[in-house]
Every structure is written in C-alpha cells, then in structure tokens.
C-alpha cells in the first residue's frame, strides 16, 4: 500500500476549485444575460487595464494565448458592439482594439457578476479564514521570492 501524496491531493483540490469557480462565474454571467463568454469577459477586463487601445498581439501576450484566439474573441465582442477595431494613428497597417460605451457598461455588469460569484464561493468562510486564504493565494500567485530562492540554492 502506498502512502497518500499530499501535494497530489492539493493539486487535485486546486483543480476542482478552479472548475467550480469557472462554473459559478459562468452561471452568474448567464443570469445577467450579457451574451458574453468567460473568455470574452477576461478579454474585456484585460482591455480595460490599458491606458490606450492595445494591438491584438499585445492582448494575446497579456492573456497568454495565441493571436488567433484573440481574433476570435474580438470578432464576437465587435459583433456585440462591445469593442471596435481602430487604426493606429502612427501606422495605418496596425489595428488597435478599444472598448465602446456598451463595452464599458458590460464591464460594470461583469464586475457585479464576479462579485456575486465570489460571495457565493466564499460564503462558508469566516472573515479570518478569508484573510488567511487571501494571503495563501497571494503567495501561490506571486511564487517564491527570487532573492530568497538564491540564498537557499
């Protein structure tokens, strides 16, 4: 009989939580009837963080997807009136993507849907547990401190 693998169990728990979060967020999006997929939602949120309209290649890099995936997402969002393609003022061959007023309004709705989903997911936790979880997630997201890793190597 082999001993249980605690890291394997944690990895499985993280994957199950990720799938649950995705399902719950998708349900909250559908309830708001925005006609926006979770992937399109992510693109809109990413787009909102730019000071000026980015190129499709910039979005692909930031989203860590292939440029073709961004094209497909932009096509859908453009058809829905949430984004538009605009020429780069410095280079007519370059196309940039900008939010429309409808896209900005959709972002507000998306934030509400994400908040509702987070409330549902975190409901079983106390305030103290939420604080601890937040700290643990920050550590996992940020990874090990590079300087600290050099000292132990």
In the predicted model, what is the mean pLDDT of residues 101-111?
Answer: 93
pTM over 0.75: no
For position 151, what pLDDT does the model report? 41
Q: Mean per-residue pLDDT for 96-119?
A: 93
- Is the pLDDT at 59 greater than 70, yes or no? yes
Rounded CA-CA distance 23/16 in Å is 11
**3-31 pLDDT, tens per residue?**
668 788 899 999 999 999 889 988 888 88
In tens, the pLDDT along 142-152 reads 887 655 544 44
For 107, residues 6+ apart whose C-beta sits below 8 A from its C-beta are 44, 45, 48, 99
Helices marked H in the chain: 6-31, 38-48, 56-63, 67-79, 101-122, 127-142, 146-152
What band does 153 get if pLDDT is binned at 50, 70 and 90? very low
pLDDT in tens, 125-140: 999 999 999 999 999 8
Average pLDDT over residues 30-59: 91
pLDDT for the residue numbered 148: 52
The confidence band for 1, taking pLDDT boundaries of 50, 70 and 90, is low
Which pLDDT score, from 0 to 100, does residue 8 have? 87
> Distance between CA 72 and CA 26 in Å, rounded?
19
- The more confidently predicted of residues 89 and 84 is 84
Instruction: Grade residue 80 by pLDDT with cuts at 50, 70 and 90.
Output: very high
């Amino acid at each position: 009989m082999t001993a249980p693998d605690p890291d394997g169990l944690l990895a499985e728990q993280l994957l199950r939580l990720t799938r649950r979060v995705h399902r719950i967020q998708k349900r909250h999006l559908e309830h708001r009837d925005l006609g926006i997929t979770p992937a399109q939602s992510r693109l809109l949120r990413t787009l909102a963080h730019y000071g000026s309209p980015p190129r499709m290649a910039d979005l692909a890099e930031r989203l860590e997807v292939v440029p073709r995936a961004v094209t497909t997402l932009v096509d859908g969002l453009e058809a829905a009136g949430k984004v538009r393609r605009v020429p780069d003022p410095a280079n007519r061959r370059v196309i940039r993507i900008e939010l429309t007023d409808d896209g900005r309004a959709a972002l507000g709705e998306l934030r509400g849907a994400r908040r509702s989903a987070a409330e549902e997911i975190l409901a079983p936790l106390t305030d103290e547990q939420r604080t601890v979880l937040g700290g643990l997630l920050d550590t996992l997201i940020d990874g090990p401190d590079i300087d600290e890793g050099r000292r132990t190597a």
